[in-house]
Structure 1
Amino acid sequence: MAAKSDFTIPLVISATIHIGVIVVVAMGVDFDEKPKVVPQVSAPAVQAVVVDQKQVTQYAEKLKAEKREAERKEKARQDELDRKAREAKQAREREQAKIKKLEQQRKQKEIETQNAAAAAKAAQLKQKQEKEKAAQAEAQRKKKEAERKASEEAAAKAEAKRKQEEAAAKKAADERKRKEEAERKRKAEEQARLEQERMMQEALAAEQAALSQTRNKQVVSEVQRYTSMIRATIQRNLVVDESMRGKSCRVFVRLAKDGFVTGSEILSGDPVVCRATKAAINKAGRLPVSQEADVYNKLKEINLTVQPEFN
C-alpha cells in the first residue's frame, strides 16, 4: 500500500502540471507576469510519469475549438447589433422623407391660398369699378331726369338717398363678410401649421426614442460583458481550498477609468472566501473596464458575488 501511494502522488502532480500548461497555451495567458514558485519535490519522492502526447494534443485542440466558437458567437452578436442600427437608420430616413413631403404639401397649399386671395382682390376691384361706372351712369341719368322733370326733384333726391343708404349697408355687410372669411382662413391656416409642427415633433421624438433604446441595449450588453470579465479576473487570482466549496462573498469594488482598483469593501459572505476575494482583487490591481463613458459610469462602482470554482 505504501508503494502504491508513493507512485500515485507523483502521477497526480505531473498530470496536473501538464494540464495547467495546456490551459495556459489555449487561453492565451499573459506570460509577462512573474512566474509563480512551484514547490520543489525531492528526487526520491518523484517518479517519472509518461503522459500520452496524443491525448494532450487532443485536449489542447478541444480548448482552442471552444475559444473559436465563443469568438464566432461574439461576432454574430455584433453583426446583429449592426443590423438593428441599419434598420433604425432606414426608419429615420423614411420618416425624414415623409416630413419633407408634408412640408411640400404645406407650401403648395400656401401658394393656392395666396392665389385665391389675389383672385378675390381682383374681383373686388372689378366690382368696385363697375359700381363706380354705374354710379356715373346713374348720375348722368339723374341729371337728365332732373332737367326733364324739375317737379320730381324732391322724389328723385329721396330715392337717391335711399339707394345710397342701401348701398352703404350692403357694402358694410360685404366688408363684414369678407373680414369673417379672412379670419376663418387665417385660423384654418394657423391650425394646419400647428398640426404640422406637432407631427414633426412627434416624428423627431420617435426617432430619438428609437436611438436611445438601441444605445441602452448596447450599454447593458457591454456592462454585462465587462462584469463577467471582472469576475473572471478575480477568479483567476483567487486562491481556493476545499473548505470554501459552496460558499461565496459579496464585495463592493470602485474602479478608476483605466481599471485601477481604487477601493474595495466586503459586504457579506463567508469570512474565508471574503479574505481570499479581497486578496485576489489586491493582487489583480487593475480590472477590465470599458473606455466608453456611459458603460464606465455603470462599472466604476459595482457589487460582485464571488463564489470559488472547483474543477
Structure 2
Amino acid sequence: MAAKSDFTLPLVISASIHIGVIIVVAMGVDFDEKPKVMPQASAPAVQAVVVDQQKVNQQVQKIKAEQQAAERKEKARQDELERRAREATQAREREQAKIKQLEKERKQKEIETQNAAAAAKAAKLKEQQEKEKAAQAEALRKQKEDERKAAEAAAAKAEAKRKQEEAAAKKAAEERKRKEEAERKRKAEEQARLEQERMMEEALAAEQAVLSQTRNKQVTTEVQRYTSMIRATIQRNLVVDESMRGKSCRIFIRLAKDGFVTGNEILSGDPVVCRATKTAINKAGRLPVSPEADVYNKLKEINLTVQPEFN
C-alpha cells in the first residue's frame, strides 16, 4: 500500500505543526506565576485564561477532525484505487478470455478452410484425372484412325511413286539421250569458238605489238622533244659568264601535270653552273609538259644535264 504511506506522511507532518502551535500558545501562559492582585481587574484576567484554554481545546479538536477527515479521504481514495485495480484485472481477464475464444474460433475456421481447400483440391485433381483419361482415350482413337489413314495413304503413295518412277525412268532415258546429243553439239561448237578466239587473239596480239612498237617510238620521240623544250626553257632563263664555259650541272627535276616545278635537286656538277641552273628553273616556274599521260609519266621526274651555251 505505497499510496497510503505517501498520504500518511503529510498528515503526520501537518498534525505535528498544529500540535507545536498549540504548545507554543500554551507555553505563552505561565501557570506557575502567581497572579498579581490588581485592583478592579482580577475577574477579567481569570476570564482571559479560560478563554485561551478554550481556544487551544478548539484548535486541538479542529486538528483531530482534519486528521480524521484526511484519513477517511485517503482510505476512500485507496478503496477507489483498489476497486479500479480489481475492475481492471477483471476486464483484462475477460479480454484475455475473449482473445483466447477468438483465437480458438480462428484456428477452428482455419482448420475448416484447410479441409475445404483440401477437399476442393482433391475434387479438382479427380476431375483433372478423369479429363486426362478421357483425353488419352480420344488421343488413342485418333491415333489409330490416323494410322489407318496413313497406311492407306502410304499404299496409294507407293503406287503413285512406282508409276512416277517408271515415267521418270523413261523420261530420264530420253533426257539423257537428248543431253548427250546436246553435249556433243556443245563441245563441237565450243571447240570451234575456242579456235576462232585463238585466231583472233593471235591477230590482236600481232596488231597490238605493231601498235605498241609504233607508240613507243612516238612516246620516245615526244619525250625527246619535250626534254629539249625543257632544256631550252632553262637555257633562256640561265645567266652565264665565261667562268662557266665548258662546265655543266646534272640536276633532278619533279614536275606537276601542268608543268609546275614541285621540286629540284642538284645531283652533280660545277657549283656555279648548278646555282645558276636552280635559279633559272625557279625563275621559269613552269616547264613544258605533254598533255598525253604516257609521255608525262616519263617526264614527271627527270634527270637533266644543263651546259651553258654561248653565242
Do they fold alike, i.e. is TM over 0.5?
A: no
TM-score by length of 2: 0.39
Larger radius of gyration: 2
